[in-house]
Amino acid sequence: MVEVRQLEVTYSGPQGPVRALAGVDFTLPDGESCAIIGPSGCGKTTLLSVLAGLVAPTAGRAMIRGQPVAARRPETALILQDYGLLPWKTVEHNAELGLLIRGVGAAERRRRVEEVLRELGLWEFRRHYPHQLSGGMRQRVAIARALTLGPDLLLMDEPFSSLDALTRESLQETLLDVWRRGGTTLVLVTHSIEEAALVGRTVLVLSERPGRVAHRLENPSAGRVEYRASPHYHRQCVRLRRLLADGAGRQAGPQRSRRAAGGGGAP
Amino acid sequence: MMRSPGPWGVVGAAAALLVFWHLAAVAAHSPALPPPWPALAAFWQSLGRGMERHVAVSAARVLASLAWAAALAVPAGLVLGRYPALDRWVAPLIYLTYPIPKVAFLFLVIHFLGIYNLAKIFLIGLIVFFQLLVTARDAARSVPRELLLSVRSLGAGETQLFRHVVFPAALPALFTAARIGLGTAIAVLFLTETFATDAGIGYFLVDAYSRFDYAALFAGIMAMSLMGLVLYVLLDGLEGRVCRWRRA
Ligand SMILES: Nc1ncnc2c1ncn2[C@@H]1O[C@H](COP(=O)(O)OP(=O)(O)O)[C@@H](O)[C@H]1O
Ligand SMILES: [Mg+2]
C-alpha cells in the first residue's frame, strides 16, 4: 500500500524557497494503478521523487507497505521520460544495470535480462546502443530495465509523452499487460488525459503549484483489455477534462495565504 | 568524434608537406633549410644508428607523463565536478596555478627531482595534468541530472554513479583533452631533452644543431612528427575501443 499523508516539499531555490507540494494526501492499495495528472510545474515529478526516495519530504510522510520511504527501497522502480538509459551501454547492459548494482550474479543477470528482453520484443536489439533505437524502443528498454528488478512498485514520470501516437498506444498496452499479471502497483505521471483515463484505476488531479490533490476520479475499468474502445472510457475522458480545467484554474481546498507562501519571498 | 587519418590521408599529407618544404627550400636557398631529399636520406641512415632508441626514449617519457597526469587528474577532476562545495574551495587554486607556465619551475623541479628522467616526466605531466583536471571537472559537472537520478533510482551509491555514469560520460571530453595534452607534451618534451640526457629526439636535434648538420636536424624533426603521428593513432585507437558507443 502506498500512503501519502500531508506531504509537503519545499525546495531551496536560488531565489528563495520554492514550495512544490503542499499537503498531498492519498492512499493506494497494493496492485492498484494510479495516474497523476496536473498542470506543468505543479510538483508531479517531485511527488514521484519522494516515492522513489530521491527527495525527502519537508513535512508529512510517504509510506510504502507500512514503511517510511527509504532512499533505496529495492522493490521500487522508477522510469523517467528521457535520459534514463546510459548512451554508452548496449540494450542488454542497460537492462541489467539495476541487477548489477544490486550485486546479482552474472548468470542470474543474464537469465532475467533475456526473459524480460524477449517479453518486450527487444532480444534482437540487445547489442544495439540507445541512439540506434527509436524513441519507442528506448522507452521499452527503460521498462525492461525496471522489470528485471521484479518491482512491486513501478513509478513512471511521463514515460510516453515524447512518442508518436501509435508507438505510445503499443507501449501503453505493453505496460498494461505487465500490470495485469499482478504483483505490481503502478503510479504513472502523465499530462495526457487519455493516458490517465486509460491506465489509472484511480486518477489524481493535482492543483497548480504548490500541488495538492484537487480531485480524485475513481476509474475502476481502467486497465481492462479493450477499455480504450469503450464508450465508458470516452465518458471518463470528458469527466477528467472537466476536473482538470476546474482543478487547474484555481487552488483546491482552503485558499488563504497558500499562494503567498508558494511565491517565494524572503528566505 | 575525431577519427584516425586513413593511410592514404597520411600519405597525401606527407606528400603535400614535402612539396611545400621543397618549394620553401628552393626559395630560401640556405644551408639552414635543406631540401627534403638530403634530409630523407639522413633520416634513412639514422635508422639502425640510434634513431629508434631516441624515438623510443622520447615516446616513453611522453607516455609516462600522460599516464601519471591522467591517473591523478581524472579522478580529482571528476570528484571536483561532482561536489561543487569542494570545487568552490579548489577552483581558485586551480585558476591561480593553471596559467603559470610550468616551465618557469624548471629550476625548482631540477632542484628537487634531479636533472634526469624524473624531472622531465614530472614537468611534462604537470602541464597535461591541469588540462585534464579542468576538463574532467567540467565534464563531470555537465552530466545530465536525469541520468544520475535514474541510475540512483536503481539503487546506485556514489561509487557506482562514478563507475556507470560520471566516468563514461566524461570519457569523450577526456580524450579530446588528452589529444590536446599530447601536443603540449611533445612540445615540452623537446625543451626537457635539451639538457642532461643523451637520448631522446630533443637530444638528437640539439646534437645535430651543434654540429650544424642540418640534414640530420630535419631527420630528427621528421622522427618527432612520426612519433606524434603514432601516438595520436594509438590514442584514437584507444578511444575507439573505450568509447565504442560513439562509433556504432
Ligand atoms: N531541485 C529543485 N530545486 C528547486 N526547485 C525545484 C527543483 N525541482 C523542481 N523544482 C521546482 O518545483 C516545482 C515543481 O517541479 P516538478 O515536480 O518538476 O513539477 P512537474 O513535474 O509537475 O512539472 C517547479 O516550480 C520546479 O521549478
Ligand atoms: Mg515533471
The correct answer on CATH 3.20.20.70 for the domain covering B7-247 is no
- The ranges of chain B with pLDDT < 70 are 1-5
What's the mean pLDDT when you consider all of chain A? 88
Task: Give residue B57's pLDDT.
Answer: 92
Task: Give residue B158's pLDDT.
Answer: 92
Interatomic CA distance for residues A72 and B54, integer angstroms: 57
- The ipTM of this complex is 0.78
Task: Give residue A254's pLDDT.
Answer: 44
A101-155 pLDDT, tens per residue?
999 999 999 999 999 999 889 999 999 999 999 988 998 999 999 999 989 999 9
Q: How far is CA B227 from CA B3, B186, B221, in A?
A: 18, 9, 10
Interatomic CA distance for residues A121 and B102, integer angstroms: 57
Contact residues, chain B, for A82 at CB < 8 Å: 146
* Ranges A154-158, A213-217, B92-96: which has the least confidence: B92-96
% of chain B at pLDDT higher than 90: 44
Asked if B192 and B124 count as a contact pair (C-beta separation under 8 A), the reply is: yes
- The amino acid sitting at A116 is V
Task: Give residue B125's pLDDT.
Answer: 93
What's the mean pLDDT when you consider all of chain B? 89
Confidence class of residue A18 from pLDDT cuts 50, 70 and 90? very high
Task: Give residue A266's pLDDT.
Answer: 40
Q: Most A CBs within 10 Å: which of B143, B152, B153, B243, as the mutation test of the A interface?
A: B153
Confidence class of residue A265 from pLDDT cuts 50, 70 and 90? very low
The answer to whether the CB atoms of A77 and B153 lie below 8 A apart is: yes
The answer to whether the CB atoms of B155 and A102 lie below 8 A apart is: yes
Q: Give the closest-approach CA distance of B164 to chain A in angstroms.
A: 8
Q: How far is CA A12 from CA A265, B141, B168, in A?
A: 12, 20, 30
Contact residues, chain A, for B84 at CB < 8 Å: none
Give the residue carrying C-alpha cell 475522458: A237
- Predicted TM-score (pTM) of the model is 0.80
Task: Give residue B230's pLDDT.
Answer: 92
Asked if A223 and A180 count as a contact pair (C-beta separation under 8 A), the reply is: yes
